Structure 1
Amino acid sequence: MFVVPVNPIHQFKGCDLLSLNVFLAVAAHASFREAGKELGITASAVSHSIKVLEQRLSVRLLNRTTRSVSLTDAGERLAATLRPALSSVADALQEIDSLGGIPSGTVRINSSEGAIRLVLQPVLARFLREHPQVHLDIVCDGKLSDIVAHGFDAGIRLAEAVPQDMVSIRVGAPVRFAAVASPGYFAARGRPAVPQDLHGHDCIRFRFDSGAIYRWEFERHGNAETVNVNGPLTLTDQPLMVDAAIDGIGIAFVPDHLAANALSDGRLERVLEAWCPAYPGLCLYYPGHRHVSSALRALIAMLREALQNDPQHESA
C-alpha cells in the first residue's frame, strides 16, 4: 500500500515541481510521447523523470507495456492528491503575477481550427505586440477536450457546447449555417424545399475529429429537424466543403461566413434559408474555481473589444 511519508519535505528533497507536473501530464495522456509534447520535452526525458520519481518514493506509479501506460493504484492516489495541490500552487503564482500589473506568462488555449481563425487570428498580432511578456500556446483540437484534465487555461467553442460548470464569455457574433450549392447543381438537380428533401440530393458531409458524422440541424417556427444526409464526399475541413460545393459536387452545410464571398459573386446559392436561424456564437470558457491570470484577462478584454467592433455583433 502507498503511504505518504511523515516528512514529505525530506522525502522530496531535490524533487522539484517539474517532476510532479511530468507525472500528472503522463497520468492525463497515458502516454510519454503526448506528455512530452504538452511540456515541451522529449519522451525519454519524461521516462527518466518518472523513473527518478518512483525511485524517490520507492513505489511504482505506472504500469508500462510496449503499447500502453496506465496508473497503478499508488499512481491513482498520488495523481488525485497532486491535481488540486498543484492547481492551488499555480493559482497562487498567477495571483502574485497579476499584482505586478503587467500581463505575463503562458496562456494555454484549446480550440477548433475554425474558432481559432474566426476569433483568435484577427487579434493575435496586436495582442502579442501589446503584451510582449505573454506567450500564447494554442492547441487546435476538434474533439471538445476536457480543458481541466489536459492542463489548458481556457477553451473556445460554441456556446451550446460549453460545459455547465465553466465560466463562459461570449467572444463571437451569432453563427448562422447556410445550405449552399452551385447554380449548375441546382439547375441539374432542383432545389430542396424542406430539410427532408435533402435525402434526394448529393450532400457534402462533415466528419468531426472524433470520427462522428455531423447530422444537419434545421429549425423553423420552433420546429427542429435533423437530417442524416448522404452524398459522394465527406470532409473534415469546412473551407474545402465550400470549394467542393462551388465545383458542383453537391450541397454543403457550413457557417455562412465561410460561403459569403461565393454567395456574393454568384458562385454559390442558398436553399432552405428559412430553416437556418442564427445560434449563439463562440464563447471563451474557463474553470470557475481557478484564479484568472492577468494574461488571460488581457486576452479576454481584447476579444470582447473585437466583438463589440464586429458589424455582425448583436447585443444580447
Structure 2
Amino acid sequence: MHLIVLPAEAAGSPAGTPPGKMASTLLPTLLPPVSRAAAFLLRTPPKPFRYHHSLFRSLLASASSPSTSPTPRALVTMACAAIPTRRDLLMLGIETSCDDTAAAVVRGDGEILSQAIASQSDLLVKWGGVAPKMAEEAHALAIDQVVQKALDDANVSESDLSAVAVTIGPGLSLCLRVGVHKARKIAKVFGLPIVGVHHMEAHALVSRLVNKDLDYPFLALLISGGHNLLVLAQNLGEYVQLGTTIDDAIGEAYDKSARWLGLDIQKGGGPALEELALEGSDATTQRLQFLLCWSEDSSSIGY
C-alpha cells in the first residue's frame, strides 16, 4: 500500500492560492462532476422559479470558459436557487454507482424518513466481483421497486417531493445511467429539479448529516471501494486532496484478499476478513514487520 502526498507546491499551486483554485488543482477527481451536475439540475423547476434552456446552455458555456468560469460552489448555489427553503425541503435520493441499488427520502433538516436497498451479493459471488453489465441489468430490474419502497416507507408520493438527487459519478457508467434515467423520468413527470451528486463528495459530507455539530473545515478519510482519499473539506464545493494511493485502494485490497482466500464475500471483503481475524488469538498470531520505505515516486511512501 502506498500513500502519495501532494503539497500545493508539488501540484503547481503557489503559496497563497485561493482555496477554490487550489481545490480544482489538487482534486480534479472531485470537481468535474460538480460542474457536470448543472446538466442535470433544474430541468423543470417548480414555480415561481423558471430557467429557460437557452439560459441554462449559456451557464454551461460560461462554466467551460477559463476566463469567466464560476467556482463549483457558485454553480451549486445558482442551481439550488430553484429548490425550496431548507425547512420545507423533501428530497428523494437515488444511488446506483456500483453494485447496490439504493434510494432514500430525506428532509432538509437531515431527518431520514426512509431508505431502501437491493443488494447484488449473489452476483458478487457468482462473478467473483462486480461485473458491470450484469450489475447494470440488476439495477434496471430493481430500481423501480427500490424507489417505490423508499417513497412508501416515508409515506410520501412523488408529488410531495421538492427535488430528486442522483449519483452522477464517479462510478460504473453502465450502473450510473440507470439511476440517472430513473431520476430524469420522475423529474419530467412531476416537474421536479434534479440535483447531480458527486459520489465522493457525498461520502465526505454524510458525516455532517449524522453529526449536526460538525462544521467546516474538517478532514475526511474516504476509503470506500476503489477510492482512497484524505481530503480537507473547507466548504461546500471546496476540497483539498492531501493524499491518495498510487496503486490499489484499501477496499479493493480487502476484496481481492478475501476472494483469493476463498472467503464468503456476500457481505464484502472487509467484513469477511474481519470475521476470519476474530478466529485468531494472540498466542498464535505472527506479527509481520513492515519496513516503511520510499517508492520510486519521491512524493510517496509505501511499505
Indicate whether the TM-score tops 0.5. no
Task: Report the structure number with the largest CA radius of gyration.
Answer: 1
Q: TM-score under structure 2 normalisation?
A: 0.29
Q: TM-score under structure 1 normalisation?
A: 0.29
